[in-house]
Each structure stands twice: as structure tokens, then as C-alpha cells.
Structure 1
């Protein structure tokens, strides 16, 4: 039987779709769809609808099991049973800087992933069954927080959906800071959907930089700048990569935007010198 040809999506179309999705109000922004579109630009042969159908089917299965229940423990148990017991999802970070580790479709294929991708899946299944849920970030671990009349419940999808106590949350901080930082409410601040996507793209950017894949690192920054066009640090990084890619006019524009946002930057003199050097090179070539 002849296999159907794989349909490839041009990166420009994936980029435009990402721009459209992230232009929606936060409550209407589907993290799974946006994450799959991030993957689509990097791997243009993936079938987004197939992955969305799979996530929707899992969500429907959880909804049926709940039978209308709004009891938070039952909701968490139902999601955990489906994802971690039946589907076998689990945390895996052996190759932390493999770019595929930050691409949601890879997590959906292998049923293994990083805290950020597993959390995105957990959040969107929860939202699809009508539960108020958000992402929170502690150093080295992205988590899921349920909020309501019951208070708040913090879940670790990387560890099989385990419910974390205050003591366990403190231990996550201690593992990084050696006991020097006490857990405060701001550590459990709810991330917006755009902030979650930014965290995913930041990991992707780091993974590509670790592999010296500058064009794809630049593409990751470009999407970060769609989420926040006035992030001076991403503009600086984008300019630096543009120089390495010999895209000097683009580098100048990014450096100038960086200085407009940070007129008293500590590296002001060096950046001005770099802009002058690049302008001189362009005039002579």
C-alpha cells in the first residue's frame, strides 16, 4: 500500500499562525495548539490536527470519568490515572539540551518529557474539563497549580502528578539555594499562557545555542519577541546572533531597539561601538 506524502508547512506560515494564536486573549489561548505550532516551524512535517485530536480524546475520557464532579481530588486522580498509569507519561531529562525535549509533539510521541511540556499537557487537559488551573515556576521545575474555594493544590507532572506539600515545595528551593531562600507566595505566582510559552521557547533557544544551531536559536528568539516585543535581553541576544550570521543590518536594528529600551545599559559604550563598526562595514561593502 502506497504511503501518502507528508505535507510540509513553510516556516513563514507556522510563524504567522503562532502570531495569530498568541494574539488571542489569555483565556482563549490554547497552550497545546501554540506549542504544536512552535514545533511546526522547527519540524514542518508534523500533523497538528492529529495531536490535537489525541489531546481532546484524553480530555473527553477524563470528563466522562468525572461524571460532572467538581471535586478537585477526583479531578487530579482522574487526570493522573489516565496520563501516568494508563498512557505511561513520565518525566525524562537525560538529554536536557536535545531541542526535541522542548517540542510538545515529541512528548506526545514518546510519552516522556521535561517539566514544561508535561505541565502544558496537564494544564490543557485540566482546562478542557473546565478547571481553573495555571502554571507556576520554581527553579529547575515547572509545576501546575489548581486554585479555588479549597485553596490551592500544586502538582508535579514531571513526577507522575504528585501533589506537593509546602515542605516539598521548600525542598525544591533548598536543592537550588541550599536553604537560603524561604518559600513565599510570589514563588507560586500563576504564569499567564504567554509566559508559559516564553518559558518553553527560552528552553528551545538554549538547546539550539548549545548545539550551535544559530538560525533556529534566532527563530526561537523571534517568537519570544512576538510574545514581548520590548524584552531588551532577547533583543540583545538576537542582535548578537545576527552578527554571527552576518545579518548586520538586522543586528544594528536590534541593538538600537535594545538601547532605546535600556538607555543606561552597562554595556552602552560597547554596543554603540559595535553599531558604529557594523555601519562602517555596510558602507564599505
Structure 2
């Protein structure tokens, strides 16, 4: 798959309904878009094998236990504690090979397997750490893919929320802490992580690609185009930055005045 083919896949994913969002294939396209001409077959094979094993466990285990045992124990998908900042931790192809990654990347395999066997599982955009919400016979539980898929108790969720800076009256609200997000937003969260890491590393070309993927995955959100413009400006691609700002203004017309000031500044630099 080439980068252009990956972009085409992301455009198609972006126009799909949330209920039909192709999480695994879109995640593969994101990885190929970053580093083209790699073989995604190991990702698909791992996902298929994980779903088959999960289905076998479903008859005798609760959904959260079956997910954790399958993904973390049987297929050794866990968080990378030793090389946390390794770029491969956000790349689903690398994670399939290394069996280590960030929670947001590991969650793609968890969510894909759950969808295939009928488990109700959703991403939870928890502050500073992506988790899963899994429905069980006793109610929804929070699962942490980074920590061997273990269940995170409500008291720990509150402690984590307080450490992340949430106010006490919010940190005590489990309905807010465990509010689910769509598969689309789960994948966008992963692109946000990559974008932040690229910016910190002054990899503005990589940051531009991350922002572009976000724009393609959610074509109704103008904000990714602002990040595309910023990344292009940092690379000195002023015409490209102006083009991205025009796209942002087209999508989010309500912010036209804010964008106009940036457009004028870039035009002055071009002149």
C-alpha cells in the first residue's frame, strides 16, 4: 500500500457512519501513511487469531476476563514500560510485531476483537491514558490494555483523575470518567498522541501527516487543518499552510475571523 492509497482508505473511513467505522483497516492505513510500502498482513493475522481465541473463551469467562486473557496473556499484547517513548509504540504494524505499545494502540486490537465476537466494548478518553469500557453481567468495568488488561477499580479511576488535574466533583463522577467514545475518536486520540510527540521532537513533517490523518478521519472538524497549517508553516511551506487554513475556514466558517488574522500574517511573509 502506498501513501496515496492509505489516504484514499482514510477518506473512505472518514465518510463512514460511526457504527460502520473500519477501525482496524483505518489504523493500518494510518501506519502505512506514515511509513509506506510495509506489509500489514501480520496485523490482520493477529487480529483474526485474537478474535478466534476470544470466541473460544466467551463460553466460560466474563467479557472483561476473556478480553484480558486473550489479548494480554495468549497474544502477549502489553504496555511498553522500558521504551515508552519509542515511536513504534504508536504504530499498529510495529506493535503487532513487538507485542508492545501504548494503550491507545493496543486498544485497537481489543476493540476489533470485541466487535468480531459481539462483546460491547468502547474506548474511554481518560485524561493522560486511554482505557476501555467493557459491559459485563455486573455492569460496565474499566480495562487498562497497557497493564495486562486488568480492571481498574472506581477508586483508582478517581485517584488517577485527581492526579491528572480534574477537580474533585468531576473526579468522583464515574459516568464522566467512563464516558465512551466512538472507534473513530479512539483512532483520532492515537493520532493526537503521535502529533504531540512529533511536535516535541521538532518532526514537523511527521506532525503534518498526523494532523492530515485526523482531518481525513473526521472531515467535519476544522481544527486538524489548523494543525496542518501550523506544521507546514514550521517547515517553511507557506503556500501549503495557506491552503490548509483555507480548508479550515471552509469546514469551520464560524471561526473565519480568527483564521483571517493568521492568513494575513502568512501572506505578509510570502510577500
Q: TM-score by structure 2 length?
A: 0.87
**Largest Rg, 1 or 2:** 1
Find 2:188's aligned residue among 195, 198, 221.
198
Unaligned runs of 5+ in 2: none
2:192 alignment partner, SS class: helix
Match of 1:59 in 2: 51
Give the aligned partner of residue 156 of structure 2: 168
CA deviations on 1:215-267 (whole Å, 9 max, x unpaired) are 221111111111233534322222122223333222223334545441453x8
Closer, same or farther: CA 36–261 of 1 in aligned 2, 3 Å? same
> CA deviation digits over 1:86-134, x for unaligned, max 9?
3322212554443322111222111111110112211111111111111
1:155 to 121, 139, 143: 143
Distance across 2 between alignment mates of 1:212 and 1:152: 40
Contact 1:118 1:158 in 2 (8 A): yes
Write the distance in 2 (CA, Å) between the matches of 1:223 and 1:211: 19
Partners of 2:140 and 2:116 lie apart in 1 by 19
DSSP-derived class of the 1:88 partner: coil
TM-score, scaled to structure 1: 0.83
2-structure distance, mates of 1:153, 1:249: 49
**Gap change, CA 1:115 and 1:229, over 3 Å in 2:** same
1:149–1:23 Cα change, 3 Å: farther
Corresponding residue to 2:133 among 135, 145, 148: 145
- 5 Å matches for 1:162-241? 162-177=150-165, 180=168, 181-184=170-173, 185-241=175-231
CA shift for structure 1 position 25: 2.2
Equivalenced residue count is: 266
Aligned in 2, Cα 1:132/1:47: closer, same or farther, shift over 3 Å? same
Specify the alignment match of 1:91 in structure 2. 79
CA contact (8 A) 2:2 2:37 kept: no
Task: Give 1:77's match in structure 2, choosing from 65, 71, 79.
Answer: 65
SS of the residue 2:135 aligns to = strand
Structure 1, unmatched stretches of 5+, are: 1-8
Q: CA RMSD in A?
A: 2.4
